[in-house]
Amino acid sequence: MGMTENLLSISQWWITCALFVVVLFLAVRSVDWQHLRDDNPLQHSFFGAAVALGFIWQMRAGISPGLAIHIFGMTAITLMLGWALAVLAGLMALVITVITGREPLLMFAANGLVAVMVPALVSHGIMLWERRRNFRNFFAYIFFCGFFGAGIAVAAAGAVMCLMLWTSGVYEFPELIHEYIRYLPLFMLPEGFVNGAFITGLMVFHPDRLTTLDQKRYR
C-alpha cells in the first residue's frame, strides 16, 4: 500500500483495475450472505476487523513514493473470516484510509490489490496447504498459517508492488533492491509476530472466531 498518482502507466492502471474487479467479484460470490446476516458474532468480527485495519493502516513509514512500510494484518483477518470476507473487510478499511487522506481514491484498485487481495489470497493458499497436509498438532495451524503465513503474505505483496513499480519505469531494479527488497525480511518478522500472536490469542480464548480452524482435527 502507498501507491500514489502517476506511479503506474495507463495500461497498468487498467490491468490493475481489471484484476481488482475480478477478485472482488469472486469474493462477493463466495460470501455466504445469509450466514453473515444470521451470525451476529461474525458480523462483529467483520466490521470490527475493518475498523481496526483502517486505524492500523494510518501508521506507516517510508521515504520514497509507493514504498510504504506498515503492518498489513490481512493474514489474521483471513484466518478469522475466510478470504472472501477478509477481502471485503480490507477494502472497507482502505475506504477509511481514503477518507482520512492517507491514500488517493484514484489508486484504490492498485492499493486494494497489493495490500488486501494478494495477502488474503496467499494466506488462504497457505491455510489450504496446511489443511491438505492434515497436521494433527494445533501448533501447525499457529505457526504455518499464522506466523509463517503472514510473513510470506507480506513478502508476496511487497514483491507484487515492486514488480508494478519496476515495470512502470518509476524505479530501476537496483533502486528497489536498495530501498525496499533488501528490507523485506525485516518486514516479515514483525508481520509474522503480530499476526501469529493475535491468532494464538484467538485460538486459546476464542477459537470459535477462527472460521478457518477445524477444531476436530486437532483433538
Question: pLDDT (tens digit, 9 = 90+) per residue, 94-141?
Answer: 999 999 988 888 889 999 999 999 999 999 999 999 999 888 888 889
Q: What whole-number distance in Å separates Cα of residue 102 and Cα of residue 96?
A: 9
Q: What domain count does the chain have? A: 1
pLDDT interval class at 184 (50, 70, 90): confident
Residue 55 lies in a domain: yes
SS (H, E, C) 149-211: HHHHHHHHHHHHHHHHHHHCCCCCHHHHHHHCHHHHHHHHHHHHHHHHHHHHHHHHHCHHHCC
pLDDT interval class at 63 (50, 70, 90): low
Residue 4 lies in a domain: no
Residue 108 lies in a domain: yes
Say yes or no to pLDDT of 47 above 70: yes
Determine the average pLDDT of the residues in 62-75: 73
| pLDDT averaged over every residue in the chain | 88
Question: What percentage of residues in the chain have a pLDDT greater than 90?
Answer: 56
Name the H helices within the chain.
10-30, 33-38, 40-56, 74-81, 83-99, 108-112, 118-133, 138-140, 149-167, 173-179, 184-205
Q: What whole-number distance in Å separates Cα of residue 48 and Cα of residue 66?
A: 27
Residue 125 lies in a domain: yes
Residue 170 corresponds to which cell in the numbers above? 518509476
Residue 5 lies in a domain: no
Lowest mean pLDDT, pick from 12-26, 44-58, 61-75: 61-75
Instruction: Identify the domain containing residue 50 by its residue range.
Output: 10-218
Give the torsion through C-alpha atoms of 88, 90, 96, 98, to 10 deg: -100
Residue 106 lies in a domain: yes
Q: What whole-number distance in Å separates Cα of residue 147 and Cα of residue 142?
A: 7
pLDDT at position 199: 93
| Closest-CA residue to 157 (of 89, 77, 68) | 68
Residue 2 lies in a domain: no
- CATH number, domain at 174? 1.10.1760.20
Residue 133 corresponds to which cell in the numbers above? 497436509
Residue 1 lies in a domain: no
Backbone angles phi, psi at 101, to 5 degrees: 85, 10
C-alpha neighbours within 13 Å on the C-beta side of residue 211: 21
pTM of this prediction?
Answer: 0.92
| Closest-CA residue to 1 (of 84, 116, 83) | 116
Q: Is 87 helix (H, G, I), strand (E, B) or coil?
A: helix
